[in-house]
Amino acid sequence: MPSLSYQPEVLQLASWAEALKPSSIQHLLDLTARPNIISLGLGLPAAELFPAEPFARVAAALLEHDRSALQYQPAYQPLKAQIVRLMAQRGVACREEQIFLTAGAQQAMSLLTRLLLEPQGCVLVEETIYSGFLQAITPFEPAIVTVATDTDTGMDVDAVEAILKRERPALIYAISDGHNPVAVSLSQEKRLRLVELARRFGVPILEDDAYGLLSYSSNPLPPMRALDADWVFYLGSFSKILAPALRAGWIVAPEGLVAKLAVIKESTDINTTTFSQRLIAAYLETGALPEHLAVLRHEYRTRRDAMDGALRSTLPPTARWRQPDSGLFFWVELPQGCDTSRLLEVAVTTAGVAFVPGQAFSVGEHRRAAHCIRLNFSNCAPAQIAEGVARLGQVIQESAQGV
């Protein structure tokens, strides 16, 4: 019995799972649970802006009149119809048959990587990206090729082209607007080129647009999905525009792949919480979303401006950042050599302020973002933002002086 020679009493995990560690974001959640911490860390929307009263009304109506809202159900078609309308506001023409409902954008990534990525397959990403995407691909133990991100214009598409000329990754992960964490929007020229490269080399783009409807500019660019329906998988989310706790989002996918996504989804969790689907559809049908989005954009713009002002008046002149056009974050570069992971420990323990260190978003072992920090401006009121940034400025100052 040779197979019994290796420690039968120890539970064997899949090899990738043996190596698995808690994410930095989870560690941060623990840190910021301490009392009196001002957290500029996580990307939480403002709870006081959730449409709780309208939700209460539609929930009561649903539970009184329609028990099918609690039953196993196929994906709710009227919600898809509402999403088609929402996409039109975002500048994307699509059809219900292309809409696939998910338990948020994170699940969309998880399902699409299962659809597109082989074990040990290759993925093309920026050097500094949303850590949840890295988590989604980790089980595949992938080969990862990276390109840099320009903080004014986004992903380096020349580097993308150079890579595609020599290898064929399973997908390119990209965030067109409100880049998390780099807080940049991809220039129109780069959107056009990236889509052209995807077509030419036959490599699909996963366009993560979780923040796309939170633009503070008067004329936001449409996402890449507006340029191509075959090579761009668009990922949308209700987490930031309605409420994260409903876990609802969507993919705009090439129509021929929706049936396959449905089988993958069914194997994963049967279906997206039907009660959430029904609540959201009923809310959208009241016509309240455009006004709600206007309120969010106004309030978040105010908070963004408050953070920009606080950073200007507090941070040393060596710090650099760009005011974001969309999304929920500032990306601040401190002088090279500053280790912001260490700075976080000091900030939390001595000054009561938290952020996410750049290293948390770094792909692989390189430390090119180790001197950067991500600051969230959506979750705190302006006065708290000012206080949090003041505390942060103090910590940076003291750390620079070696105190």
Site for its own copies in 131-190 (CB under 8 A): 132, 135-136, 138-139, 165-168, 170
Could you say whether residue 68 binds its own copies (CB under 8 A)? yes
Using CA atoms, how far apart are residues 249 and 212, in angstroms rounded to an integer?
13
**Size of residue set near its own copies by CB under 8 A:** 96
Q: How far apart are CA 85 and CA 289, in angstroms?
A: 11
Q: Tell me how far apart the alpha carbons of residues 234 and 191 are, in angstroms, rounded to a whole number.
A: 13
What is residue 60's DSSP assignment?
A: H
Phi, psi torsion values for 201, nearest 5 degrees: -100, 0
Nearest CA to 87 out of 235, 188, 259, 279 is that of: 235
Nearest to 325 by CA among 130, 176, 131, 149: 176
Q: What CA–CA distance (Å, rounded) separates 154 from 369?
A: 15
The correct pick among 104, 154, 212, 358 for binding its own copies (CB under 8 A) is 104
Is the separation of the CB atoms in 197 and 161 below 8 Å? yes
Residue 263 as a binder of its own copies (CB under 8 A): the answer is yes
Judge whether 137 and 123 are in contact, CB under 8 Å. Answer: yes
Judged by beta carbon, residue 47 or residue 295, the one nearer its own copies is 47
Are 296 and 328 a contacting pair, CB within 8 Å? no
Binding segment for its own copies (CB under 8 A), chosen from 109-117, 315-323, 340-348, 364-372, is 109-117
**Region from 78-86, 187-195, 275-283, 311-319 binding its own copies, contact rule CB under 8 A:** 275-283
Q: Does 60 bind its own copies (CB under 8 A)?
A: yes
Give 249 or 393: the residue with its C-beta nearer to its own copies: 249
Q: Which of 55, 222, 339, 384 binds its own copies (CB under 8 A)?
A: 55
Q: Would you count residue 276 as binding its own copies (CB under 8 A)?
A: yes
| Residue 107 contacts its own copies per CB under 8 A | yes
Please identify, using beta-carbon distances, which residue of 335 and 364 lies nearer to its own copies.
364
The residues, any chain, with a CB within 8 Å of residue 124's CB and separated by 6 or more, are: 144, 145, 146, 147, 160, 163, 164, 169, 171, 172, 173, 203
In the region spanning residues 24 to 53, those forming contacts with its own copies, defined by CB under 8 A, are 25-26, 29, 42, 44-45, 47-48, 50, 52-53
The least distance separating its own copies from the CB of residue 381, rounded to whole angstroms, comes to: 14
Binding its own copies (rule: CB under 8 A), the pick from 36, 71, 219, 401 is 71
Tell me the per-residue interface mask from 197 to 236 with its own copies, x by CB under 8 A, - otherwise: --xxxx-x-------------------------xx-----
Q: Measured from the CB of residue 181, what is the shortest distance to its own copies in angstroms?
A: 17
The DSSP H or E segment spanning 206 is: strand 205-208
Nearer to its own copies by Cβ, of 39 and 176: the residue is: 39
Q: How is 303-335 classified by DSSP, letter by letter? A: HHHHHHHHHHHHS-TT-B----SBSSEEEEEPP
Pairing of strands 143-147, 122-126: parallel
Rounded to a whole number of angstroms, the minimum distance from the CB of residue 150 to its own copies is: 27
* Member of 27, 34, 63, 77 binding its own copies (CB under 8 A): 63
Q: CB 115 → its own copies: shortest distance, Å?
A: 5
CB 239 within 8 A of CB 207: no
Residue 334 Cβ vs its own copies, minimum distance, rounded to whole Å? 27
170 vs 124: CA distance, rounded Å: 8
- For 222, counting Cβ atoms within 10 Å of its Cβ (0-12 exposed, 13-18 middle, 19+ buried), the class is middle
Closest to its own copies by CB, 286 or 350: 286
Considering the complex, state which of residue 114 and residue 292 has its C-beta at the smaller distance from its own copies: 114
Residue 26 Cβ vs its own copies, minimum distance, rounded to whole Å: 7
Distance of alpha carbon 232 from the chain centroid: 17
Residues 318-337 that bind its own copies (CB under 8 A): none
**Nearest approach, Cβ of 60 to its own copies (angstroms)?**
6
Map the footprint of its own copies across residues 233-262, applying CB under 8 A. Answer: 239, 243-247, 254, 257, 259-260, 262
Residue from 13, 148, 162, 294 in contact with its own copies (CB under 8 A):
13
143-147 and 329-333 strand pairing: unpaired
Cβ 200 to its own copies shortest distance, Å:
7
Our CB check for its own copies shows the closer of 60 and 400 to be: 60
Cα(52)–Cα(57) distance, integer angstroms: 9
